[in-house]
Amino acid sequence: MSDIVDVHLLNETVKTKQLNKMYKISKEFHFSAAHKLEGLPADHPCSNLHGHNYIVIVELEASELNEVGFVTDYRKLSPIKEFIDKYLDHQNLNDALDFNPTVENIAKFLFKTFEKTFPQMVTITVKETPGIAVTYSPMFDAHPDKIG
Ligand SMILES: [Zn+2]
């Protein structure tokens, strides 16, 4: 199979290298924490200190499996759980983090913290409530290289 594929964008078709990432795995982590958001009107409910049961979903991709048949052993992701338990769980995020603790910022922070440890990681999604999700991925910024 050719590794050059057509990618259909809004108004044009470009040829790009096939990424061939055929396996995606994810693992979910949980923590409870308090925060209030800066920069909002005083009457905005998120300006008051309040809490969430956060959900963090880490996704990893691979084109080939290891000798066992895994993308990676889920147990190898335990440093993420240990970090969350130690620095985020049952904390006031305004004290624990040096940025405005929106889910967007938390997702980026977690990705940046672990991107070197887990090069197969492609996204981190953070949820404050079950119905709302923010996903951070450097891949969202990747445009296909035009080669033809
Ligand atoms: Zn909140």
Q: 90 alpha carbon to ligand 1 midpoint, in Å?
A: 14
Query: Is domain 22-146 in CATH 3.30.479.10, yes or no?
Result: yes
How far does the centroid of ligand 1 lie from the alpha carbon of residue 45, in Å? 8
In the reported structure, the alpha carbon of residue 76 is separated from the centroid of ligand 1 by a whole-number distance in angstroms of: 30
* C-alpha dist (Å) from residue 80 to 11, 83, 113, 123: 41, 5, 9, 14
Q: What pLDDT is attached to residue 21?
A: 80
Strands 121-129 and 13-17 turn out to be unpaired
- How much is the pLDDT for 141? 72
Ligand 1 centroid to residue 78 C-alpha, Å = 26
pLDDT score for 3 = 59
In order along the chain (148 residues), what is the average pLDDT of each group of 10 residues? 62 65 95 97 95 98 94 96 98 98 98 97 96 92 60
The Cα diameter of the chain in Å comes to: 58
Rounded to the nearest angstrom, the distance between the alpha carbon of 66 and the centre of ligand 1 is 39
**Separation of CA 103 and ligand 1 centre (Å):** 8
Find the angle CA(61)-CA(64)-CA(68) to the nearest 5 degrees. Answer: 105
Helix (H, G, I), strand (E, B) or coil at 122: strand
- CA dist 99 and 93 (Å) reads 9
> Which position has the token pair 């078709």?
13
Ligand 1 center from residue 50 Cα (angstroms)? 6
Strands (E), the chain: 4-8, 13-17, 23-35, 50-62, 91-92, 121-129, 132-136
Domains of the chain by residue range: 22-146
Q: For residue 80, which phi and psi values (nearest 5 degrees)? A: -70, -45
Report how far ligand 1's centroid is from the alpha carbon of 57 (Å). Answer: 18
pLDDT at 20: 73
